[in-house]
Amino acid sequence: MVKRNPHFAKLQSGYLFPEINKRKQAYLKMHPEAKILNLGIGDTTLPLDPHIAQRLQKHSFEMSTIEGYLGYGPEQGQSELRQKIASVLYSGRVHSEEVFVSDGAKCDIGRLQLLFGPDATMAVQDPAYPVYVDTSIMVGQPEIMYMPCNPENNFFPDLEQIKRTDLIYFCSPNNPTGAISTHEQLEKLIAFAKKNRSILIFDSAYSAYISDPSLPKSIYEIPGAREVAIEVGSFSKMAGFTGLRLGWVVIPEELRFEDQTSVRKDWERIHTTFFNGASCIVQKAGLAVLENEGLQFIQRMIESYMSNAEYLAENLRQLGITTYGGDNAPYIWVYFGKSSSWELFDTLLTKAQIIATPGIGFGSEGEGFLRFSAFAQRSHIEEAVQRLKELPLEVATA
């Protein structure tokens, strides 16, 4: 018999979102007529712009011609797309060879664990996107330091209380709290990583949702970040590519290991060994996103999701419920208190047929919270508000 990988016994039973889906399916089995409103998973619902869809169509068709056919591409990504990401999204702060195109941020976060291996220690915001912790446990990393982020510290960790670790995971705009870190806060984070000789892994999957020009969209807007930070980005929420799959990782040339070898070079080795490139057609569509017409479309799409966030947050507040986020970020982090997150989840599902994500699924600081996603269809959000108004909720103010 083959021994089970012992690290898997340390994981929570299932990954958060399939667990939610299981409970939804169980409910539907008993109540097949129920109209469930899904404000749980952060999955985009608005259709693609024709400009982008036409590009997909064009290149799909060209695959049927001898001249237009494309096989394996460069594993690191099509050079035109790497250049466009560097120039449009980073205003030239990074070079195209430092951009590695992928099939999405989630897969990159998993592959990044291989770069540092089983001995690396890590710090992570609590609450956080569960993939950072789950993949660290899977590769057998020995220690995870949780950095509490809550209303008391305005969702930014007290770095003086945090022990040195090799890696620091940080996400802004944050999933799930919707908090956005300021320039000053990120300067502190970079200084902390420098002092400790740690590497910062900065997840900017929601950066396109920042409309306030005073807030940083990328870690590379912070001086000194190139020597300490990796950035993970995604087309999923920026352009509605959750189903198409396209993301990237930036590793600046200055980033070095203790022995002065290049982190970027090792990443190139991993990326080209484990991955054969994102779909060539989807990369062409990614290029269309970064052209003027595509950029105008994503602006409209983001405004539409953000108007959902504003509507939802405003209505929840009118019900006397304490909310955070929803401003420059597509998630609303809601404190109900008194009950546990899973109890709150069950109450909403059974009494109002609404799905929200239980805060505890993102870490212990999420207990008593629910995360509402603004990516749901507008009609579902409006109906959810209506149902919440009719529901006598046990509401607590934080």
Q: Phi, psi (5° rounding) for residue 16?
A: -50, -50
- Residue 26 — φ and ψ, nearest 5°? -65, -40
From the CB of 56, what's the least distance to ligand PGU, in Å?
17
Provide the minimum distance between the beta carbon of 204 and ligand PGU in the complex, in angstroms, as a whole number.
Answer: 9
Q: Nearer to ligand PGU by C-beta: 17 or 342?
A: 17
Minimum Å gap between C-beta 333 and ligand PGU is: 12
- Whose Cβ is closer to ligand PGU: residue 17's or residue 275's? 17
Q: How far is the CB of 41 from ligand PGU (least distance, A)?
A: 4
Q: Name which of 13 and 397 has its Cβ closer to ligand PGU.
A: 13
CA distance 123 to 326: 25
Measured CA distances, 364 to 6, 347, 360, 367 (Å) = 23, 20, 6, 6
Q: Is the Cβ of residue 185 or residue 234 nearer to ligand PGU in the bound state?
A: 234
Q: Based on CB atoms, which residue is closest to ligand PGU, 14 or 68?
A: 14
Mode of pairing for the β-strands spanning 99-102 and 144-148? unpaired
Q: What is the smallest separation between the CB atom of 143 and ligand PGU, expressed in angstroms?
A: 22
Rounded to whole angstroms, how far apart are CA atoms 88 and 295? 10
With 0-12 CB in 10 A as exposed, 13-18 as middle and 19+ as buried, what is 309? buried
Strand 199-203, strand 229-234: pairing: parallel
Provide, rounded to whole angstroms, the least separation between the CB of residue 171 and ligand PGU. 5
167: helix, strand or coil? strand
Total count of residues recorded for the chain: 398
Binding stretches for ligand PGU (CB under 6 A)? 17, 41-42, 104-106, 129, 171, 175, 203, 205, 234, 236, 242, 247
Q: Which two tokens stand for residue 327?
A: 């401003």
Complete DSSP assignment for 233-283: EESHHHHT-TTT--EEEE--TT-B-TTS-BHHHHHHHHHHHH---S-HHHH
Rounded least distance, CB 392 to ligand PGU, Å: 28
Residue closer to ligand PGU, measured from CB, 205 or 316: 205
**Sheet with 322-325: strands ordered across:** 322-325, 331-335, 369-373, 357-358
By C-beta, is 179 or 393 nearer to ligand PGU? 179
Instruction: For ligand PGU, give the closer residue by CB, 59 or 371.
Output: 371
CB of 286 to ligand PGU, least distance (A): 12
3-state class of 377 per DSSP? coil
Residue 130 or 294: which CB sits closer to ligand PGU?
130
3-state helix, strand, coil in the chain (%, to 5): 45, 15, 40
